[in-house]
Structure 1
Amino acid sequence: MTSAELAQLLSEANSADWESLASALKLADGQPPPRVAWLVQHLSVTKRGHWEAIAATLGTPLPPPELNLNGLCLWEVGQAQVLSAEGLAAPVDYSGARLSVAELLRLNARHTVWHAGQIAALCRGPRLA
């Protein structure tokens, strides 16, 4: 995948109108359940970890510490767009695995939508037959 394709994948996982992190979070009405708050925090920490591993490999910028999850999602799309083909192919160590930067970004997108599904399930009220 090219940097533009990976940026698009991250953008869709983070903020597409349907089946994304943003669309799942829109289901939270008022105070989110504690599990949703934990998942939001977990996604923030994990996304930062992905980009810290990439920065250690490529010398790219780290995510600004003041960004919330929404800001982090926007920031990472911009960062993914400017990665070179060589940068995407570079090996990176993450969580005991050796991946290419492109593979880590795809993992990032999968991880995001995995938890978006959990958030959506937790935010939906009980359905009555």
Structure 2
Amino acid sequence: MTFTPTQLAALLDEADHHPWESVQAALARVAGQPHPRIGWLTTHLAATKREYGTLIAAATATPAPPQDAGLSRLMAWEVDAARRLTAAQLEATLTHAGQSMTVAELLRLNARHSAWHAGQIAALAGRARIA
């Protein structure tokens, strides 16, 4: 399956920012004292997005993500960074979790990973914190 940089950026943008079903939409549903697992999920998402961005930057000779960025800034950064890649850069290979894959495959994994955790956050958003 082949995607253009624009299509991959749109996929990431939807997983991160879509008004109904995204990380941002799930976080917007959190009210009051959030469930402690939400904090772990957002920290985990920021760490993995930073890791993915760093791997892609090394494989494509492009700028790495800002190391001081939080989740919201990383989500905006990765969409813009994906949009700027060339078709040749999408085919560059890298190793993640012991597996060889292309940059395009890692970007698709990133979108799936974001959607997966957005669903978890949404499920926890309405739960009251139990102290």
Alignment map for 1:92-103 (pairs within 5 Å): 92-103=94-105
Q: Give 1:80's aligned residue.
A: 82
Structure 1: distance between partners of 2:92 and 2:34: 39
Q: Give 2:24's aligned residue.
A: 22
Q: Give 1:68's aligned residue.
A: 70
Unaligned runs of 5+ in 1: none
Structure 2: distance between partners of 1:106 and 1:5: 10
Offset of residue 64 of structure 1 = 0.9
Unaligned runs of 5+ in 2: none
- Give percent identity, aligned residues only: 49
Q: Give 1:58's aligned residue.
A: 60
Q: Which moved more, 1:79-88 or 1:28-37?
A: 28-37
TM-score (structure 1 length as normaliser): 0.94
Alpha-carbon RMSD across the aligned residues, in angstroms, is: 1.1
Structure 2: distance between partners of 1:31 and 1:77: 30
Structure 2: distance between partners of 1:46 and 1:80: 16
Structure 1: distance between partners of 2:84 and 2:10: 12
Offset of residue 66 of structure 1 = 2.2
Q: Give 2:120's aligned residue.
A: 118
Q: Give 2:45's aligned residue.
A: 43
